[in-house]
Amino acid sequence: MSSDAQAIHHESFVLNVGPQHPATHGVLRIKLTMDGEYIVDAEPVIGYGHRMHEKMGENRSYAKFLPNTGRMDYVAALFNGHGYVGAVERLAGLVVPERAEYIRVITCELNRIASHLLWVGAFLVDLGGFTPLLYCFDDREHILDLIESVTGSRLTFCYFRFGGVCNDVDDNFIVGARDFVASMRSRMPMYDAFVSKNIIFRKRCEGIGILSADDCRKYGATGPVIRGSGVAYDVRKMEPYSVYSQLDFNVPVYTECDCMARYRVRIDEIVESLRIVEQALGKLPAGPVMADKVPRALKPPKGDCYFNVESARGSFGVRAFSDGSENAYRLKLRSPCFSNLSLFQECSRGMLLTDALALLGSLDLVIPDIDR
């Protein structure tokens, strides 16, 4: 090869993906250095939608920050609320009634299924398939109808309260949830045949986007991302909270470390969440849904604590510092999406651009959760 041809062959250029780009599902910019169709470097540039949630949590009362939790990971907003109220309850020494804890688990697991369904549909769109999105949204609408009946919202939920939940579930909700569990189970073989066994989808995912377990640990990845790399870490099992220790469910794990493994983890998690919802409905006790005598102006004693939950995208954690006033002295929010995105720069090097977009989609990022 001549020197001129070598110079042309090794000429690189910069390509911007975002900040407004369908493949990023939000205001995320990725600065790609390309050698032809291959990625030399990929630098995520975040901060376009940063809203200073942590600082807002320090300049308003604990209760007034509750609506903010639904504005971070808005696709699975109930988990953010669960993590926040759990941290404040631990600080204040509040004991949550058992019925409220079961309701929290039921609504969160329904929210997990809704989140995974949205991801499956959007991931297929990233890869060029549109039709599965319609089926996913059809099933997801049934969940949103159920959650709306008790929370009053369909997306940015603010349902949990310090000491319980703001509304009890009624018989219509319980019957509707049981019907959904049966309906969704009957739909899973359709998704298996329609998506999981689709040869085009498999060729786009199998062996693509390899994330080793060591890489996941190095960057603090959690959720389906690390479980798709063979690590059985799930907060619900490793650090049980609420009533998860009283429920029987498995933690799906795959060792292939590719996009297909992360897809299969989420599909299996839908099945496990259906099991959890069914068990929790069967064990739902009678009683109040709010603790007694929770002060309107909550002032936890001085101290700090950390509370984390297993959200749809991984470990969402809240560290709260109290100085005895109505506001948190310091509030730190641990986002699973931020850690999962951190993998992308190193692991996308040398990949084809089209394969890198499959890797990016398999991480299931919600950009406002990164730009907190």
Question: What tens digit of pLDDT does each residue of 98-150 get?
Answer: 999 999 999 999 999 999 999 999 999 988 888 889 999 999 999 999 999 99
pLDDT band at 18 (very low <50, low <70, confident <90, very high): confident
Task: Report whether pLDDT(22) > 70.
Answer: no
Per-residue pLDDT tens digits for 148-178: 999 999 989 999 999 999 999 999 999 999 9
Task: Report whether pLDDT(262) > 80.
Answer: yes
* Residue (of 94, 62, 36, 32) closest to 298 by Cα position: 62
Considering only 14-18, 19-23, 40-44, 121-125, which range has the smallest mean pLDDT? 19-23
Antiparallel, parallel or unpaired: β 13-17 and 20-21: unpaired
Check residue 219 and give its pLDDT.
93
Distances (CA, A) of 1 to 6, 8, 13, 38: 6, 11, 21, 20
Check residue 49 and give its pLDDT.
80
Q: Note the helical H segments in the chain.
A: 3-9, 53-58, 66-69, 77-92, 98-126, 131-151, 171-191, 199-205, 213-219, 224-227, 235-238, 259-283, 336-347, 353-362, 367-370
Check residue 9 and give its pLDDT.
52
Question: Going from the N-terminus, what domains does the chain have, and what CATH number goes with each?
Answer: 3-370 (1.10.645.10)
Considering only 45-54, 202-211, 305-314, which range has the smallest mean pLDDT? 45-54
Higher pLDDT, 23 or 5: 23
Q: Is 118 exposed, middle or buried (0-12, 13-18, 19+ CB in 10 A)?
A: buried
pLDDT band at 23 (very low <50, low <70, confident <90, very high): low
Q: Are 306 and 318 in contact (CB under 8 A)?
A: yes
Q: What is the residue type of 21?
A: H
Check residue 323 and give its pLDDT.
92
Per-residue pLDDT tens digits for 207-216: 999 999 999 9
Considering the entire predicted model, what is its pTM? 0.93
- DSSP 8-state assignment for residue 23: G
Q: Are 216 and 229 in contact (CB under 8 A)?
A: yes
End-to-end CA distance of the chain: 50
Mean pLDDT of 347-358: 92
Q: What is the mean pLDDT of the chain?
A: 91
Check residue 371 and give its pLDDT.
83
Task: Report whether pLDDT(196) > 50.
Answer: yes
